[in-house]
Structure formats: structure tokens, C-alpha cells
Structure 1
Amino acid sequence: MTRKRKLLLCTTSVSFLLGGCLGMDSEQTNTNQDGLDRPKDIYESVLTYTGDGYDLPGGEKNEAFAKEHEDEVVKATKDFLKKEYNIDVKVHNIVGNKDGVTVFYESTGRIHFYATAIVPIDVRNEKVLADSVWTLEGEVEDAIRGGLYGYIMADEFKELDELMVGFTEDFPIVGRTQESLENVRARGYTTPYYFTQSIDLDEAINPVYDLYIRNPDTPKDQLKAAYASEKFNPRYYRVAIQFFMEDPDAQPSQEIVDSLVKALEENENIPNGSYSVHLNDHYVIKAKSSGNKENTLGYGPPNYIVKD
């Protein structure tokens, strides 16, 4: 039986991070037009950020031990996921946490997604607890559902991807680096511009999920036929879009956000669902892999862009 637990991750607020850096040498900061300092030990350009500096509480010793026993950690992760979900994965990164290490991986089969697993470590006895690997509640299942959407609706997602790339050509905005997605994001079906979320209440995709879990080799046409479109409810399938300003000195533009929203509303060929849009300045908070700050502009919950 799969072991699943809820992991509470403590994060430091943006205001605390900013407040703790008063008086730093100006050579160690990036300053925006609004006068806000972006200390380099806390923030990094979205164009270069690959996940370095990402941190989970209390994981220093576990991470150091895991890096010395990386082969064991990787094998434990792959064996667990193969046994429990019959999926093959590529491990991208290992980050220490208070219970062991969080392993960031990418599926390597036809159903594509990112997710994590937790490998416990007994540092005192210098042992990787390979028989006790677990996952966050529902994370892998939701990621597989998202991957199935991407697989059976390839044409719609191609349209969405082309729309996202078009935005970066029409406006001075960019997405994340591929390396940061692989190393620290782990958000199901994910691209540099968005991630999707499908939960277990999504009755439209659940028959596809059940069929795939029973037989991962089920042909694509049968998976598509199992999709119960009449039961689709956009509140249970969400697409979270996030961009960054390309210019290090630029502030997020409401005009750009409004243009993105309008384009999404008018496009009838992208996947159905509830869309959110957020535009950050140029920088990522390294420890959290987050672009959200006080100056972030957005259009989202509860005012989603609904496509159904």
C-alpha cells in the first residue's frame, strides 16, 4: 500500500526577507525602478535561475548525507514509483528536508509530468530508508491526471503552447528556465509558462485515469474515448499561467496582464478549464522558487478565466 503523508513546509515571508537585508552593500543588490532592492543572496534573475538556493527547513544534514549516497536515494525513488504507479522516472534533484530528502523527478513515459517523492534518512545510523519512501497526499495521482490531459488533448495544448510563445514575442515578458522546472518546481504537467492541476473530483478525466492505471499500455484512442466530456467541470481543472518581466528594471504591467487575459478569453482552441494569469517582475525568490511578490499583478481566484 502506498504510504502518503501531508508535509507542512515552512516558508519565510517576502516582507521578512526584504526587511532582513537593510544596509546591505549596494554591490550585492539589484535595484528596480521602484527603488526596491533585490539582494543577490535572496533573488536571482529568472533568466539564469535553475533552482540553486532552493531550501526546505531542517534539511542540511539529510541533504549532505543523501548526496554522498545519491545512488541509493535514486534507486529507492525509482523502485517505489515503479512498484506503486508503474511509472519510470528521471531524477533531477535532491533537496534535504527534516524527514529525509525531497526527490524531484520527471516521468519518462508517454504521459509526461513532474512530481516529488520523500525518501526518509536515518542520519544517526547512516542509512537510507529505502523501504519507507512516501509521497505527498494526492500529488502523484493529480500529476498523472494532468499528464493524461496533455496526452489525450495534444492539439489543444499545442495551441496553448503556441499562444504562450506568441505572448513572449509580442510583449517584453519571459517564462522560467527549463532547468528550474526540472530541479525545483515539480508541478504535474508543466511548461516554462504554466502548470495544470486536475484533482480527484474531476469526473471527466477520472475514467481515463482509472483505465491508464489498470493498463499503462492502453492505446491513445481508447484513453481518449474514456474521457467523459459531459461531466467536465472547469473548477476542478486549472491552468496557472505565470510570466516575468524581461527587463530587470521593469515593473509588472497591468496593460500586459489585460492583453493576456483578453487573448485567453477569445481563443476557442485551447483546453477547457479555469485559467489564472500572474505577471511578476524579473526576479525569483531563490529559497522558494517563487516569483510572487508585493508588486505581482494577477487575474485569478476567485475570478478565473473560465473556458468550458
Structure 2
Amino acid sequence: MKIKWKLLTSSLCLSLLLGGCFGTDKSVTQKSSDGKDDVPRSDDMYESILTYTGDGYDLPGGDKNEKFAKDHKDDVEKAVKDYLKNEFNTDVKVHNMVGNRDGVTVFYESTGPLHFYATAIVPIDLKNKDVLGDHVWTLEGVVERGIKGALYAYLFEDEFKELDRILGELENEEDIVGRKIEAIENVGGIGYMTPFYFLANSTNDEAIEPVYELYMKDPETPKAELRSAFDKEQFIPEDYLFSIQFYMEDPNKEPDEAILERIVNTIVDSTTIPSGNYAINLHDNYVIKHAAEGSKDNSISRKFPDEEIIKE
């Protein structure tokens, strides 16, 4: 299973080049001249998680393409919606556009019974001032993984609601917060996501594959039929990584080990949350704006490979 997760992590890292995420393993810290992490955070680099909605996120070489895309917003949105409908039988709502070297990365949210966030890339020909709507593409596996993760959440709705409930209680009882929904909409884009976690699932999950095939043939398939298609004998908890991301609510406080331990113990002790592999991350109050990134040198965590939390 560890080999599989190394491959999945590599795939996610590639997708994040175009898709933005909170809480991956990048380490970016502002240091003073003597090497200490005590320089006040720059407003143009960092923003409090309490207010961050994705402003400042960027991709290399995309300024001109982003301006052109936003001037032709209707064409870009239509191209993405048509592509997702034709290729994946999925209706979407577009939230944000971020220019890249060859076009624009579009952040969208699925609509309908399944709920996930993802990205699509729309090429732009600046020389001829044209949105290349017939050449929309997505990184391999990104949409499929989003649909499969959303299907898992759909089939086990009660367990997911319980996870949301206990994480919401932790937010209320401790000096911690999750992300704003606007940030997830604008710069999330990596599948099933909530203010408290994102689900990183394998595209090779054999348990969900028959459900996926049935759904893709007919999105109106009743939930009971989809659940019957789920192959429990093939289910492997490590195929589903729940990456929990909390932030300190107080801008002046560092990540607290005691709070992290309470989050970990809450997950370990719960018997009614979804089966899967859980990673727990606690950051300070700030996000690196241009990368939509919370993980920094002072972040603390419990996760693979150092300490796995597997819920069968």
C-alpha cells in the first residue's frame, strides 16, 4: 500500500501545479538574516486563514492569458462546461480562472448528486486572440478521481456527516479553524473537499470501479443500485486518504501539540467515520497566498509514513 501512496502523492503533486491546494508538504518560511523564523509575515506573501479566499494565487507566466480569459469569460466557461458534459457526463459551475503559460486553469465545482472540485485547462492563442475551446484538457485522472471520491462520499453519506460533525465540534471547542468555502471554490480543485479536509483517493480502487462504471453510464442511477455495485471484498482503506487541515485561530499562536493530539485521538477513537487512511495537519494562522498553501516549517502533523491512522 505504501508504494501505491507514493505514486498517488506524485500524481497529486503534478495536479497541484495547475490546481492549488492547502496543506501539502511544501515548506516555505520567511527567515531573518540570522536564519531564525522570526521575521513578521509580509502582507503581500501571507494572509490570515480567516480572510483568505484565494486572492494572490498565481501560476508562472499567466498574467496576459488570465486577463484575456477574463475578458472572454463566457467563452472560457462554455468551453469547460461543454468539455465536462461531453467527456464525463458532469455538469459544473465555474468559480475562478488563473492564467498559465499556455492558457488558463479553470477551477470548477460539480453540480448534481455528486460533489467535488477540480480544474480544467483551456488553451489560449494570444497571437490570434482566440480561446481554443475545442482543445480543453485535464490532467490524467483528476476528474475520474474527483468523481470516484464523490461517489464514495455519496454511498457512505452518514459516515461522512459524522466526520464533518466531529471536526466541527473540534473547531468550536479548540483555538482552531478550517478554511473558508470561498477559498476551496477559488483555488481548491483536487476532488472531494470540505473546510476541514480533502479526500485524496486512488484511481485504481477496485471497490468503487463498478460503481463508477454504472454511474458514468447513467448518472440518474438510484443510490441503492450504486451501493449494491460497491465491491466490499475489494475495498482497501489505504485507497482513501483523508487529509485533515486545521489552522490556529489566533494569528499570534504557533501550532499547538496538545491540540494536535486531541484531533488525532478524536479520529483514532471514532468508530463511525468513513474507512480510510487519515493524515492530521495543524498549521499556524497564515496561508502563503501565491501557492494557496498552509504548510510551513512550523506546521505539525501525524501522517504517513511516520504514523499512519487507518480506519478499517
TM-score, normalised to structure 2's length? Answer: 0.89
1:105 and 1:115 in contact (8 A); partners too = yes
More off after superposition, 87-96 vs 197-206: 197-206
Q: Is the aligned partner of 1:307 residue 2:311?
A: yes
Displaced runs of 4 or more, over 2 A: 6-11
Q: Secondary structure at the match of 1:82?
A: helix
Matches within 5 A, 1:123-202: 123-202=126-205
C-alpha distance in structure 1 between counterparts of 2:41 and 2:127, whole Å: 39
Question: Partner letter of residue 267 of structure 2?
Answer: L
Alignment partners' CA distance in 1, 2:212 and 2:39: 46
Comparing 272-281 with 223-232, greater Cα deviation is found at 223-232
Counterpart-to-counterpart distance in 1, 2:300 and 2:93: 34
Q: Distance in 2 between matches of 1:8 and 1:92?
A: 17
Contact 1:115 1:139 in 2 (8 A): yes
CA contact (8 A) 1:9 1:57 kept: no
Residues 255 and 206 of structure 1: is their aligned pair in 2 closer, same or farther, counting only changes over 3 Å?
same
Q: Secondary structure at the match of 1:18?
A: coil
Q: Percent identity?
A: 53
Q: Which has the higher contact order (CA 8 A, sep 6+)?
A: 2
Q: Work out the CA distance in 1 between the residues paired with 2:223 and 2:15.
A: 35
Match of 2:125 in 1: 122
After superposition, give the CA deviation of every residue in 1:50-104 in whole Å (9 maximum; x if it has no partner): 0000011110110011011010000000000000001110000000001100000
Q: What count of residue pairs does the alignment treat as equivalent?
A: 289
Deviation at 1:186, TM superposition (A): 1.0
**8 Å contact from structure 2 (residues 15, 142) kept in 1:** no
Q: Secondary structure at the match of 1:298?
A: strand
Which position in structure 1 is the counterpart of 2:295? 292
Alpha-carbon shift at residue 7 of structure 1 (Å): 6.6
Following TM superposition, by how much is the alpha carbon of 1:240 offset from its aligned partner in structure 2, in angstroms?
0.5
Alpha-carbon RMSD? 1.7
- Write the letter of the residue equivalent to 1:37: P
- SS of equivalent residue, structure 1 residue 39: coil
Which residue in the other structure is 2:100 paired with? 97
Structure 1 runs not aligned, ≥5 long: 1-5, 23-33
Work out which of the residue numbers 218, 228, 232 in structure 2 matches 1:229. Answer: 232
SS in 2 for 1:135: coil
Task: Report the Cα distance in structure 2 between the residues aligned to 1:179 and 1:56, rounded to whole angstroms.
Answer: 19
